[in-house]
Amino acid sequence: MSTLIFGHKNPDTDSICSAISLTYLKNKLGIDAKACALGTPKKEALFALNYFGVESPCVINEAKGNDIILVDHNELIQTVDDIKEANLIEIVDHHKVEISTDVPISIRVMPVGCTCTIVYNLFKENNVEIPKHIAGLLLSAILSDTLLFKSPTTTEMDIKACEELENLAEVNKEEYAMEMFKAGTSLDEYTISEIVNMDFKEFDMAGKKVGIGQVFTLDIDSILSKKDEFLEFINNTDHDMLVLAITDIIKEGSYLLYKADDNIISEAFNVKAHQGVFAEGVVSRKKQLVPNLTNMVK
């Protein structure tokens, strides 16, 4: 019976890619292992799998009787429900730990930005060549977990791994990351109304009914290409004022579509206002959008 290798429930790109990559390594080392997942891959991981021509891992919800290796998690609450009936033989992770075992097992935890950075090093330590598709998945996970090295969890090891992986995967990591982030945060399957109302709050500002919506996406173009439709929808609401912030966490700012006087927007966010203007540094509704607008509507 194959050893099952899987990441945490509600799997992110790292959980999917580290399971597949470590499985590839184990197989190369002569170990019968199979990549699995405790849930279906999300858009970002699917983009990476598709880009590098790799099949999705099979989704499981039990592991009873199997040897298992956990990647990208170690806590009981995040793993397969019947873990106590499985035989845990190894953990590869980059999170804080809460581990208790009855016998010695293999544990490899490192305080790095991504499990795939550890898996990359396991390939190196075992002198196993990393093929293009595995390099691509490792790279995808590291770029995802470190948000293209912008996350404070990023370490030198993550960056160093990506230098080689970028070459092996035959991509430009900045361009690839943006494509992957766009795919992962695409709002294409939602209607205009759904996007505006996705995370929408109403405020009373000096007697005026003000609505502020915020969405996070890196697929900005797809939103702004429908600017007129968004504006038609926004202008037809019964709000005295409405601001939709389309926040780009990589550029660390928000594109604004609004039903408001240009003057108010210009002063509130220190920009030369126009529909779709980019407000640099504006990423928080609570700390920026709301107080800045409240100051203007007096």
Joined tokens for residue 91: 């953990």
98 binds a second copy (CB under 8 A): yes
Determine contact, residues 118/92, Cβ cutoff 8 Å: yes
109 binds a second copy (CB under 8 A): yes
SS3 121: helix
CA distance 81 to 230: 44
> Residues in contact with a second copy, total (CB under 8 A)?
21
- CB-nearer residue toward a second copy: 93 or 248: 93
Q: How many CA atoms lie within 13 A of 93 on its CB side?
A: 22
Q: Shortest approach of a second copy to residue 94 CB, angstroms?
A: 6
CA distance 216 to 265: 20
- Which of 133, 154, 161, 170 lies closest to 35, judged by CA? 133
Question: Taking contact as CB under 8 A, which single stretch among the options 3-11, 98-106, 211-219, 261-269 is the one that binds a second copy?
Answer: 98-106
107 binds a second copy (CB under 8 A): yes
Q: Shortest approach of a second copy to residue 218 CB, angstroms?
A: 27
Joined tokens for residue 251: 């550029």
Joined tokens for residue 240: 């005295």
8 binds a second copy (CB under 8 A): no
Q: Interface mask (CB under 8 A) for a second copy, residues 117-156, using x and -?
A: ----x--xx-------------------------------
Query: Applying CB under 8 A, which of residues 29, 61, 111, 167 lies at the interface with a second copy?
Result: 111
236 binds a second copy (CB under 8 A): no
76 binds a second copy (CB under 8 A): no
* Sheet with strand 200-205: strands edge to edge: 200-205, 208-216, 241-248, 253-259, 277-280
- CB-nearer residue toward a second copy: 96 or 298: 96
- Which of 209, 211, 191, 210 lies closest to 200, judged by CA? 211
Question: Taking contact as CB under 8 A, which single stretch among the options 109-117, 141-149, 210-218, 267-275 is the one that binds a second copy?
Answer: 109-117
Determine contact, residues 124/157, Cβ cutoff 8 Å: no
Query: Applying CB under 8 A, which of residues 30, 84, 96, 207 lies at the interface with a second copy?
Result: 96
Please report, as ranges, the residues that interact with a second copy according to CB under 8 A.
94-111, 121, 124-125
